Amino acid sequence: MPATRAQLAAARSKGHTLVLAGPGTGKTTTLIERCRTLVRAGVPLDAMFVSTFTAKAATEIRERLKASLATTTDGVVDKDEILKNAHIGTFHSLCARLLKRFPTDVGLPYDFEIIGDEDQRQLLYDLEIQWDEEDGNYVDMISRWKDRARTPEQAMEEARELGDKFTVGAAKAYARYEEARRETAAVDFSDLITLSTQILKSGGKGQKWFHGNFSHFVIDEFQDTNRTQIDFLRAALGPYGQIWAVGDENQSLYEWRGSSPSYCLNFGKIFPGATIHELNEGFRCSPQIVKMSSRVISRNRSRYDKAMKPARKSRKGEFVLFKGFLTHDAEADWIAKQLAKFQANGGKLENAAVLFRTATVANTLQRRLERERVPFRLTGTGSFWSLPEVSLYVTAVASVAGDKRFDTRKGFGRTKAGFKCRSLAEELHGETARVISEPLARVLYEHRPRSLDQERRSSWMASVEAVSNLLLDFDDLGGFLDYVTQRTEEEGKRDGDCVTLSTLHSAKGLEWDMVFVAGCESELLPHFKSTNVEEERRLFYVGMTRARHQLLMTYARLRNDKDKKPSPFLQEAKLPEGENPGVFKWSDPENGKGRDHEEAPDKKSGSSSRKDESTSATRRRKSYRNRGGRSLIPPEEYGKG
């Protein structure tokens, strides 16, 4: 599709420019047109600095730009040569190139080493700095401070104000880490940005070379830039450079690592004389989704006063459904069966996604999808089988069985729960599933990490119960371990037609025909730990606008035995009577609706060695009645910390 007038006007803007591009408004098309405009104006490709948020986005832009420029060039074109000298990539990759060329400008040797997360962790270990993994991660905390341009001294001030022992320990580790990093000429990912900024302010060879070669800066996903990246861009422009950025303050989701909608809102102050362009014609979503998502995000104050409008009319089969369930199990059952039915009717699973705020929502979904034989791939979250509590349980079973396929030496880790599981497994060596199931579950209940919040604590207990019940569905330990091996191997090989399971954060920039957003409850969206309700609303908005045609937002009235309420964002999205341009329905079990979807789970066999669930249930050593169901967890355990 050719560029629209608004897209062309934005692409051809002169001077510093910010393009506000809502979901599905042709952001990438406009960015490509900007590069084409510069090339036609005589700007060499190697004079452009094109920055993207991810390496995947850089690859897409490179390929689209290559094809676009090739079609406008006379004669025989070597497509591989077109972008040979172009600088297209993430901030980190582009800054790494600059730093490797001029390391001595900031006192680094030419053989300096770029280190990743595991190297940073090892550096701290070499300094004999230890921390309790159950309380947090020093490496992660240090990176967040550095991304916000906080020195070790400033980090210590923040930690002391919080009065948190773990944070104070992390701040002390930060100071020692920086000293050791400098001594070994190591550079972490945060340093790539700050050291490159220093090169551009040093007055040395690197600054002169950079300002003499780069004149135009094209920045994708500007709303996700952080403080250190803004400082780099200001230094990069020099006296004559121009910045052209595209972003959407309504999709700024990474406050925890330093991004903020304020950089979009104050673009004209950061880059004086800038022009603001708006792309507000949505080509992706149905009119119903456009209107409902716009209604939600209009509640935010930290945004431009702009309104999205649909670029097309409603189509047959498009709808928005808000659906409540009595329990999270019923919610997961329904989603899995809808996807199974979709596939059975000839639908392509690659055109569907299930999104969620936190990984705890995905655990039950994964198990239900496995039972319905619906293949899925995970984005932004780990597998059910990689959960610490599930991994410990499986490792303990493997240790009892003497199964060499599992690493029973390192698999227990260094936590108290792992130590207790190891001891119990040695004590129960050679025993049967019936003997070991409950004791293993009890150890993991009693020694769950202290630092778990309420949501994760409930999820931990539910996951232990799920894997413990699953163990009892097999004739022997070997059958259970075969099943686990099969599932984990399948997950690693899934590259065909699969439904995507993704966190909302990881789904940004992607789109599907049909999208489920699960766990739309008041303590999950907005999340109870978040202090920024506007960012939570932006996350909800991003989830809604991933769908092209069908949007299904679900919630449970009871999740992990805790009473829940629908997310307030659902009510905010609801349009006044008579204003729906398409199909919308809200079904809630408390209104007597939706109960027909609470049917019992399908009892399909997942393995030739699995027994029918009704017979395996009678073998369980001890269980409790709980809200009409059965549980291995005693009633007094629920809700305990």
> Is 21 annotated as belonging to a binding site?
yes
Angstrom CA distances, 251 to 223, 274, 516, 517, 544, stand at: 7, 21, 19, 17, 12
Residue 425 lies in a domain: yes
Q: What is the pLDDT of residues 10-23, one digit of tens each?
A: 999 999 999 999 99
Is the pLDDT at 638 greater than 60? The verdict is no
Task: Please tell me the predicted confidence (pLDDT) of residue 383.
Answer: 72
Shared domain check, 477 and 345: no
Q: How confident is the model at residue 511 (pLDDT cuts 50, 70, 90)?
A: very high
Query: 580: closest CA among 318, 283, 354?
Result: 318
Residue 162 lies in a domain: yes
Distance CA 108, CA 10 (A): 41
> Is 25 annotated as belonging to a binding site?
yes
> Is 275 annotated as belonging to a binding site?
no
How many domains does one find in the chain? 4
Q: What is the pLDDT of residues 187-244, one digit of tens each?
A: 999 999 999 999 999 999 999 999 999 999 999 999 999 999 999 999 999 889 999 9
> Is 24 annotated as belonging to a binding site?
yes
Shared domain check, 468 and 347: no
> Is 503 annotated as belonging to a binding site?
no
Shared domain check, 368 and 462: no
Shared domain check, 87 and 201: yes
Q: Over the range 361-389, which residues count as b (16 or more CB within 10 Å of their CB) and which as e? A: bbbbbbbbbbbbebbbbbebbebbeebbb
Q: Do residues 203 and 172 touch, judged by C-beta distance below 8 A?
A: no
Beta-bridge partners for 554: 323
Query: Among the three residues 516, 543, 573, which one is the final residue of a domain in this structure?
Result: 573
Query: Among the three residues 184, 202, 236, which one is the final residue of a domain in this structure?
Result: 184
> Is 238 annotated as belonging to a binding site?
no
Q: What is the pLDDT of residues 610-619, one digit of tens each?
A: 333 333 333 3
Range of the domain at 432: 384-491
Shared domain check, 340 and 414: no
> Is 488 annotated as belonging to a binding site?
no
Is the pLDDT at 621 greater than 50? The verdict is no
Shared domain check, 466 and 527: no
Shared domain check, 427 and 390: yes
57 three-class SS:
helix
pTM over 0.85: no
> Is 26 annotated as belonging to a binding site?
yes
Please give the backbone phi and psi of residue 625, each rounded to the nearest 5 degrees, phi first: -75, 140
Q: How confident is the model at residue 495 (pLDDT cuts 50, 70, 90)?
A: low
Residue 404 lies in a domain: yes
